[in-house]
Every structure is written in structure tokens, then in C-alpha cells.
């Protein structure tokens, strides 16, 4: 499995080795040894798994969990294709306001680690796209928050031939600037402490990622 650090500090892309034969293919979307080597510690204890099915054009996010308690995610596309986004909304992070994306499909089968406090979103590129998540915390409605995917300051890209389909909640979500003004964003130092006090793997004291 190959690992690549993303532009958002602490976020990591994983690409497993795919084994094809006449029957189809076999792969492991998550491998503890590879994760530990890239992240610096084993994966969190999984408190919940989620499974979503989306039609082409569906946009889910930008979602995040208030910190504390905070939630980390390990995400992969089990069927179909999607563009997966991580957005650094942690106040005080050296990469605050930056985002990065990973194309998830049935060719490369990439996965993304989303650190505590980082915003997450995806755009389904095919009908019946299935996204699977492992989460470090259980779902608590009052802790789950959203930012606008369409925030012009973030400028997250959408395919030009696609009309985005958003839930009412996501359409009503505020921009990053409004959330910061209202004190709704997680603090970077709190997020690091929730992850066990470890600095993210692409962090260097006093340096930008």
C-alpha cells in the first residue's frame, strides 16, 4: 500500500495494491501496518461504520464534528466513483483554509484518512456510488456541523457537466468565514490533543506543510 500526505496537515491518501485475476479483483482498503507507518500511530478504535449510497451529482459535506469530542475518519469508495475532499477548518492550523482532493474509483481504490477537526465532503461521479467510513466516534446529532461546499472563498471544484444535488442542511450551511466569526470551528491544538497528543505526520515545528 502506498501513502501520500495531502495538502491538509495530517490528512493522508492511501492506495492499496490491487490483485486482479479471471474472477475479478481483490484488495485491502485498510492495512494497519501501512497506516501506522504513515500516520505514526495505529488507527483509532472504531466506534462506528457508515455506508452511503449516492446518485451522480450528489454532494455531501462539508461535514465536521465539534471538537471536543471530535471524530477522525477513514474513508473509501466501495462502488462507483467520487471526488473526496478534505478541508482544513482547524483554527490555528498551519494549513488552515486549504483543501485537497482524492479521486476514488474502482481502478485505484484509494482511501483517505481525515484527522480530527478536518472538514470532509465528496461529490459522487456515478450513480449508486457507495462510500464507506470508519469513525473514531459515534454519531451524536448536536455535535455534527456543516459548512457550505459552495463557499466561493474555498472554491472547491465541481465537474462542469454536473448540477450539484445537496440536502437542505448542506444548502443552508454557512461559509468558513461566518463559522469562524461565530466561534463554530475547532481549534487545532484541541484536535491534536484529541488524537492523542501526537503532532500530525507531516508537521514540523514552526514549518508549513
Q: What is the mean pLDDT of residues 190-195?
A: 93
User: What's residue 201's pLDDT?
Assistant: 52
Backbone phi and psi for residue 161, each to the nearest 5 degrees, phi listed first = -100, 20
Provide the grid cell at 135: 469513525
**Given a cut of 80, is residue 77 above it in pLDDT?**
yes
Q: What is the mean pLDDT of residues 138-149?
A: 96
CB 47 within 8 A of CB 135: yes
CA atoms within 13 A on the CB side of 92: 10
Catalytic member of 64, 74, 133, 188: 133
**Given a cut of 80, is residue 63 above it in pLDDT?**
yes
188 is catalytic: no
CA 52 to chain centre: 14
At the topology level, CATH places domain 2-19+28-194 in Jelly Rolls (2.60.120)
**Given a cut of 50, is residue 206 above it in pLDDT?**
no
133 is catalytic: yes
**Given a cut of 60, is residue 116 above it in pLDDT?**
yes
Q: What percent of the chain has pLDDT over 90?
A: 92
Supply the mean pLDDT for the chain.
93
What pLDDT band is residue 196 in, cutting at 50, 70 and 90?
A: confident
pTM of the model: 0.91
**Given a cut of 60, is residue 137 above it in pLDDT?**
yes
Among 15-24, 72-81, 191-200, the range scoring the smallest mean pLDDT is 191-200
User: What's residue 203's pLDDT?
Assistant: 41
Q: What is the mean pLDDT of residues 84-112?
A: 97
- Residue the block writes with cell 471526488: 83
Amino acid at each position: 500500500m502506498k501513502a501520500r500526505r495531502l495538502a491538509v496537515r495530517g490528512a493522508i491518501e492511501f492506495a492499496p495494491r490491487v490483485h486482479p485475476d479471471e474472477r475479478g479483483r481483490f484488495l485491502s482498503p485498510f492495512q494497519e501496518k501501512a497506516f501506522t507507518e504513515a500516520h505514526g500511530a495505529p488507527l483509532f478504535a472504531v466506534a462506528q461504520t457508515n455506508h452511503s449510497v449516492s446518485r451522480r451529482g450528489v454532494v455531501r459535506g462539508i461535514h465536521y464534528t465539534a471538537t471536543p469530542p471530535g471524530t477522525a475518519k477513514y474513508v473509501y469508495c466501495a462502488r462507483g466513483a467520487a471526488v473526496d475532499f478534505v478541508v482544513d477548518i482547524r483554527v490555528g492550523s498551519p494549513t488552515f483554509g486549504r483543501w485537497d482532493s482524492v479521486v476514488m474509483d474502482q481502478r485505484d481504490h484509494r482511501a483517505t484518512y481525515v484527522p480530527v477537526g478536518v472538514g470532509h465532503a465528496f461529490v459522487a461521479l456515478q450513480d449508486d456510488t457507495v462510500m464507506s467510513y470508519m469513525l473514531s466516534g459515534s454519531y451524536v446529532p448536536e455535535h455534527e456541523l456543516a459548512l457550505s461546499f459552495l463557499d466561493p472563498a474555498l472554491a472547491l471544484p465541481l465537474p462542469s457537466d454536473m448540477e450539484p444535488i445537496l440536502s437542505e442542511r448542506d444548502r443552508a450551511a454557512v461559509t468558513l468565514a461566518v463559522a469562524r466569526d461565530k466561534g463554530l470551528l475547532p481549534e487545532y491544538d484541541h484536535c491534536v490533543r484529541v488524537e492523542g497528543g501526537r503532532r500530525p505526520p507531516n508537521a514540523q515545528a514552526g514549518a508549513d506543510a
